[in-house]
Amino acid sequence: MRSIGHIARTQRILDNDANYVEPSDMLAELCEDNKTVAARPREAHKVCDEHRDIATASFIEVWIDETERRTWFLFEAGRPGDATGH
């Protein structure tokens, strides 16, 4: 990265500059953002596999797992509650 402009040109997750976002919409947006974040390390993992780089692939697997856990949490947190209390 060489400048703010360079960062802006390479940004893959769009900003949300809304004055207000409903909490459920925010959770859904964050969940989708995490799915996007997980896609890039998966691509890198494939390259590691092709070159038999097990050490780097292991690091990447940790990042993917963390991202998938966040995605699961955000999905579950955004689900509507059971009105019956069950």
**Domain span including residue 51:** 21-86
User: Per the domain annotation, does 51 fall within a domain?
Assistant: yes
Output the pTM of the full model. 0.70
User: Per the domain annotation, does 9 fall within a domain?
Assistant: no
User: Per the domain annotation, does 75 fall within a domain?
Assistant: yes
d(C-alpha 60, C-alpha 45), whole Å: 6
**What does each of the 86 residues of the chain score in pLDDT, given as a tens digit?**
788 888 888 887 888 889 999 999 999 999 999 998 888 899 999 999 999 999 999 999 999 999 999 999 999 999 887 655 55
Helices (H), ranges, 11-53: 23-50
Q: State the total domains in the chain.
A: 1
User: Per the domain annotation, does 14 fall within a domain?
Assistant: no
User: Per the domain annotation, does 6 fall within a domain?
Assistant: no
User: Per the domain annotation, does 54 fall within a domain?
Assistant: yes
N-term to C-term CA, the chain: 50
Q: Which residues contact 67 (CB under 8 A, 6 or more apart)?
A: 34, 37, 38, 41
pLDDT confidence of residue 27: 92
Neighbour tally for 40: CB within 10 Å: 14
pLDDT confidence of residue 84: 55
User: Per the domain annotation, does 12 fall within a domain?
Assistant: no
